[in-house]
């Protein structure tokens, strides 16, 4: 056995790909009804197939697309559409910051590809995987990439089918298939409730988001996360300060 082989950490690349495909089942099942809905709404709003598919291919973010379709269809000024997309997706800055320590050793191509596919659901899977195993020698990025590709393919396919069968899909909203994505999020969120503080910050964000759900362009989600993150930072700072005092 070579030295390199000895240093190679478990689990292997194949194992990570296999794990990634298994854990992505929930988010793929959750993404399909949303993709159908986006495609159907887009068709009914009068967007062409090319425009609809480009939205799913380039933006790859459900809630931003949903709002964007409405604005494009109503002829909103393009700077407003782009700015709104930025506001809705601003939370991704947090994802990028929180995962950056784990991807900094990867090549620019890998980092770009991971960033492109980093939807809410993929981020949640990635954060869980890296929390379990932060070893930079590992193949966790293959796990994340597998989930990312699976969701992307499902997203494009369901958008296409949604656009083609738009008129027949008006009842898809009532089936409750979207619950699969919330069940996935619950499974992921309980795993990060490792302290009473984490639970409290989660509950705070949930309550704020509920209180602000009527704010336009889903900005309530962003504001709630922002406020909860500031509270978490201050709280964590106080606790760390107290620990330092105790140590001294």
Q: Which of residues 39-68 bind another protein (CB under 8 A)?
A: 47, 50-51, 54-55, 57-61, 64, 68
Burial class (CB in 10 A: 0-12, 13-18, 19+), 42: buried
Q: Which stretch binds another protein (CB under 8 A): 141-149, 150-158, 159-167, 190-198?
A: 190-198
Nearer to another protein, 7 or 77 (CB): 77
Residues of span 115-134 touching another protein by CB under 8 A: 115-116, 118, 120, 123-124, 127-128
Q: Using alpha carbons only, what angle is made at residue 113 by residues 107 and 115, rounded to the nearest 5 degrees? A: 100
Query: Minimum CB separation from another protein for residue 23, in Å?
Result: 7
Binding segment for another protein (CB under 8 A), chosen from 1-9, 33-41, 101-109, 160-168, is 101-109
Taking CB under 8 A as the criterion, the residue among 20, 26, 33, 138 binding another protein is 26
8 Å CB contact between 122 and 115? no
Instruction: List own/partner pairs for 67-76 with CB under 8 A and 24 or more apart.
Output: 67/217, 67/218, 69/38, 69/41, 69/42, 69/45, 70/45, 72/45, 72/47, 73/45, 73/46, 73/47
Shortest Å, Cβ 113 to another protein: 10
């Amino acid at each position: 056995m070579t030295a390199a082989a000895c240093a190679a950490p478990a689990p292997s690349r194949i194992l990570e790909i296999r794990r990634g495909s298994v854990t992505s089942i929930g988010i793929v099942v959750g993404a399909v009804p949303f993709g159908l809905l986006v495609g159907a709404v887009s068709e009914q709003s009068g967007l062409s197939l090319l425009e609809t598919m480009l939205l799913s291919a380039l933006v790859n973010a459900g809630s931003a697309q949903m709002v964007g379709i409405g604005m494009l269809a109503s002829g909103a000024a393009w700077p407003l559409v782009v700015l709104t997309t930025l506001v809705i997706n601003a939370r991704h800055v947090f994802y990028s910051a929180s995962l950056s320590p784990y991807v900094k050793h990867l090549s620019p191509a890998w980092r770009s590809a991971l960033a492109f596919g980093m939807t809410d659901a993929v981020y949640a899977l990635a954060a869980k995987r890296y929390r379990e195993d932060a070893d930079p020698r590992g193949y966790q990025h293959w796990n994340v990439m597998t989930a990312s590709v699976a969701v992307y393919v499902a997203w494009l396919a369901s958008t296409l089918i949604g656009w083609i069968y738009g008129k027949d899909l008006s009842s898809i909203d009532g089936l409750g298939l979207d619950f699969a994505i919330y069940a996935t999020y619950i499974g992921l969120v309980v795993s990060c409730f490792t302290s009473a503080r984490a639970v409290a910050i989660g509950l705070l964000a949930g309550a704020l988001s509920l209180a602000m759900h009527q704010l336009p362009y889903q900005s309530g989600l962003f504001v709630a996360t922002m406020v909860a993150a500031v509270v978490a930072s201050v709280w964590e700072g106080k606790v760390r300060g107290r620990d330092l005092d105790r140590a001294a």
